[in-house]
């Protein structure tokens, strides 16, 4: 045989072996006729079941009314003396990008001027545009790069827009649809990370090439700035305008938690001598603010994992290190976000899963810190801030208190907007409990229920968690759960399991790779504590998770089917043998491990839901939700799991939105249907 024939035979044998192990590989063909026929058949069954259920239509109408409410908070993005806002309602299904003067906005007398009408643009372009935001050209703020996604995918097109003329720039910058990014170098040049042709993307599906594109130049003729290896996660440009100077960076990510950062100094990109797992936050007083995820020894001083440190930027660019400690959290605290204002460094922290704000200042060589007076026991989000202004906007809410938008300027704080009550909460109460997990670790959770709750084990209860990627789940107003569950008489539990960032890097790292089971054991401990308190029982207990949380939901349904009578598995990873070969999956090996390494597959296969569902086992009748247009977590995870369960004669519900991306909806109408479907399912199973 010739060499090419032998190679072809080897590939055929390999594919045959894969097909024997996995009979549902064909469902990985996202929009093939066979796959879509299967999807439509499953959708029809689920839609028929939920739409005929009592209360579905009323619930959907309530969700849609809430989403289309023209009195909801119009969140500000402040640009010089103007406020920009993106808005959806029943007349603007895909939304409008609009602006008003800051003066009128603050007086609550906004006269909105539409800048881009996404519905009109979608009709003109024969597309289903989803707004991904604007990247401004500072300091004039007269032009920006608009990112638009067709159908809600992570891919988007980029077009130059003139906000003065309210039109896309004729013959301006325009980039085809791709994952990646584009930032301004100056008014006539961009740094661009895109798809440049075969071989230009990593195995994770992100750019490995960054080019410098000049105005009027064809993309293929742009100057190569950096080309990375194909097996890294991706390469991304960054740009900020600080004290009259543009700061240009490149981040070369090997995984979610390992990267090199390069800074443009003159005409050369210099690699900054920072820990690979550290995270750049902002620039303040000539110092680069960095959050550490591991200990770092500099000049015989050890800075701790979780610390916020300040590094002299000029010396850093020369390969020297001068580092000071800006903030050190305790074991119950983590740094959530950093924003530089004219007044100082605004530090958003989480203390025992509740937000606390601080203002940091560097004076005469030392850091000073003062707590910002805010409402307590809730979630605080910084909405808009500017390093050239002492004024900033933040939002506060908790599980039963609607959002309030505040503006703070020095010692003065005013209420700018007060969110409407979207569900009845006067008869609700919130508690925070703790329970010991399997290995003795203390795990906190919140529970929201009616004040007259009977402790007889009969209360329909939904338990939510995420538990991954250093993401913290904080107590905020959840209209979805309020309307769909709490008002219906349900109990809602939020478990702050390991894998999240609630207590800093160690809380996250305790559930990475070979320690992944800790997150699931934490979840079971919370559920068992809820049962032990006689709040609920397995007959009335449900679990819910989305994305990484969807993986968790798939795990708990297959590992502990005895605990639940309903499980919503949303936008999930489920086939953990092939997750690194589908779409962005390779980028998550830093979190889960590499299933192609036998030693790592040994711990992954123990929880991979697709490999741990078996004929003859009594599982809860799950609801699996995904989207055809999800180009982050491949819809085949959900499809293949459903197909295998159907083959094994396990009853289930499956629904796949045809557009919507990772969130499974692009419009309020789609979102209202999805929410009504999920909570109707929960009522059918748990009430």
Q: Concatenated DSSP letters for 8-29?
A: HHHHHHHHHHHHHH-TTGGGGS
User: Contact 332/352 with Cβ under 8 angstroms?
Assistant: yes
662 among known catalytic residues: yes
Q: How far apart are CA 199 and CA 205, in angstroms?
A: 10
User: Contact 111/104 with Cβ under 8 angstroms?
Assistant: yes
Q: How far apart are CA 129 and CA 122, in angstroms?
A: 6
Tell me the pTM.
0.95
Q: How far apart are the first and last CA of the chain?
A: 66
Residue 21's pLDDT is: 82
* Phi, then psi, of 493 in degrees rounded to 5: -125, 135
Q: Give the active site residue among 381, 385, 547, 627.
A: 547
Residue 357's pLDDT is: 98
User: Contact 76/383 with Cβ under 8 angstroms?
Assistant: yes
Residue 448's pLDDT is: 98
Q: How far apart are CA 603 and CA 612, in angstroms?
A: 13
Q: Give the active site residue among 525, 662, 665, 666.
A: 662
Whole-number average pLDDT of the chain: 96
pLDDT in tens, 465-498: 999 999 999 999 999 999 999 999 999 999 999 9
What residues pair up with 219 in beta bridges, in sequence order?
none
- Number of C-beta neighbours around residue 508 at 10 A: 25
Residue 5's pLDDT is: 52
pLDDT in tens, 322-331: 999 999 999 9
| Kind of pairing between the strands at 323-327 and 308-312 | antiparallel
* Phi, then psi, of 526 in degrees rounded to 5: -65, -45
Q: How far apart are CA 556 and CA 563, in angstroms?
A: 9
Secondary structure (3-state) at 378: coil
Secondary structure (3-state) at 266: coil
User: Contact 682/492 with Cβ under 8 angstroms?
Assistant: no
pLDDT in tens, 662-683: 999 999 999 999 999 999 999 9
Instruction: Select from 618, 484, 483, 623 the least CA-distant residue to 550.
Output: 623
User: Contact 635/572 with Cβ under 8 angstroms?
Assistant: no
Q: How far apart are CA 124 and CA 126, in angstroms?
A: 6
Question: Does domain 28-64+422-686 sit in CATH 3.40.50.1820?
Answer: yes
Q: How far apart are CA 425 and CA 37, in angstroms?
A: 43
Residue where the block lists tokens 């329970």: 435
pLDDT in tens, 513-571: 999 999 999 999 999 999 999 999 999 999 999 999 999 999 999 999 999 999 999 99
Residues of the chain short of pLDDT 70, as ranges, are 1-20
Residue 17's pLDDT is: 46
Domains of the chain, residue spans: 28-64+422-686
Task: Measure Cα distances from 223 to 167, 175, 190, 219 in Å.
Answer: 28, 15, 11, 9
634 among known catalytic residues: no
Residue where the block lists tokens 């443009």: 264
CA angle 451, 456, 458 (to 5 degrees): 90
| CA R_g for the chain | 25
């Amino acid at each position: 045989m010739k060499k090419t024939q032998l190679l072809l035979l080897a590939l055929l044998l390999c594919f045959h072996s894969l097909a024997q192990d996995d009979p549902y590989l064909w469902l990985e063909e996202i929009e093939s006729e066979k796959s879509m026929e299967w999807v439509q058949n499953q959708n029809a069954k689920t839609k028929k079941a939920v739409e005929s259920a009592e209360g579905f239509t009323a619930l959907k109408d309530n969700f849609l009314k809430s989403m289309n409410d023209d009195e909801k908070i119009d969140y500000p993005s402040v640009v010089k003396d103007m406020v920009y806002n993106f808005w959806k309602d029943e007349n603007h299904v895909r939304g409008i990008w609009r602006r008003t003067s800051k003066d009128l906005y603050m007086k609550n007398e906004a006269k909105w001027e539409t800048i881009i009408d996404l519905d009109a643009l979608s009709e003109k372009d024969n597309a289903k545009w989803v707004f991904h935001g604007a990247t401004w050209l500072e300091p004039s703020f007269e032009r920006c790069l608009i990112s638009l996604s067709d159908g809600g995918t992570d891919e988007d097109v980029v077009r130059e827009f003139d906000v003065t003329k309210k039109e896309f720039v004729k013959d301006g910058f325009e980039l085809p649809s791709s994952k990646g990014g584009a930032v301004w170098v100056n008014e006539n040049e961009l740094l661009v990370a895109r798809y440049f042709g075969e071989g230009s993307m990593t195995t994770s599906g992100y750019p490995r090439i960054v080019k410098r594109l000049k105005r009027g130049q064809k993309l293929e003729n742009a100057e190569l700035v950096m080309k990375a290896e194909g097996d890294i996660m991706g390469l991304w440009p960054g740009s900020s305008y600080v004290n009259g100077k543009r700061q240009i960076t490149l981040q070369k990510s090997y995984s979610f938690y390992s990267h090199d950062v390069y800074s443009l100094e003159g005409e050369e990109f210099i690699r900054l001598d920072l820990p690979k797992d550290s995270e750049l936050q902002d620039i303040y007083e000539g110092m680069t603010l960095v959050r550490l995820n591991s200990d770092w020894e500099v000049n015989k001083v050890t800075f701790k994992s979780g610390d916020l440190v300040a590094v002299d930027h000029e010396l850093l660019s020369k390969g020297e290190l001068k580092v000071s400690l800006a903030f050190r959290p305790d074991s119950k605290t983590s740094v959530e976000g950093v924003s530089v204002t004219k007044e100082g460094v605004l530090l958003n922290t989480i203390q025992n899963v509740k937000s606390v704000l601080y203002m940091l200042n560097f004076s005469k060589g030392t850091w000073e810190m003062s707590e910002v007076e805010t409402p307590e026991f809730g979630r605080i989000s910084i909405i808009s801030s500017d390093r050239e202004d002492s004024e900033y906007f933040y939002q506060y809410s908790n599980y039963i208190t609607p959002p309030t938008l505040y503006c703070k300027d020095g010692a003065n704080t005013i209420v700018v907007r007060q969110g409407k009550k979207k569900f009845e909460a006067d008869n609700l109460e919130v508690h925070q409990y703790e329970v010991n997990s399997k290995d003795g670790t203390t795990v906190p959770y919140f529970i929201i229920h009616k004040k007259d709750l009977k402790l007889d084990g009969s209360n329909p209860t939904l338990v939510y968690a995420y538990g991954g990627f250093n993401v913290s789940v904080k107590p905020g107003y959840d209209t979805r759960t309020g309307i769909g569950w709490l008002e219906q008489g349900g109990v809602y539990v939020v478990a702050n399991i390991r894998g999240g960032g609630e207590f800093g890097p160690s809380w996250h790292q305790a559930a990475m790779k070979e320690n992944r089971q800790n997150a699931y054991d934490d979840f079971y401990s919370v559920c068992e504590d809820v049962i032990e308190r006689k709040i609920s029982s397995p007959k009335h207990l449900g679990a819910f998770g989305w994305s990484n949380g969807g993986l968790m939901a798939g795990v708990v349904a297959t590992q502990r089917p005895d605990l639940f009578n309903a499980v919503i598995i949303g936008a999930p990873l489920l086939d953990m043998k092939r997750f690194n070969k589908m779409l962005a999956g390779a980028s998550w090996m830093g979190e889960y491990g590499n299933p192609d390494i036998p030693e790592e597959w040994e711990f992954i296969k123990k929880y991979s839901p697709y490999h741990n569902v078996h004929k003859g086992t009594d599982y809860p009748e799950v609801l699996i939700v995904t989207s055809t247009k999800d180009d982050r977590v491949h819809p085949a995870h959900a499809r293949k799991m459903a197909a295998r369960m159907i083959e094994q004669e396990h009853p289930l519900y499956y629904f796949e939105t045809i557009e919507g991306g990772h969130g499974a909806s692009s419009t309020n109408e789609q979102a209202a249907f999805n929410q009504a479907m999920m909570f109707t399912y929960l009522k059918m199973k748990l009430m």
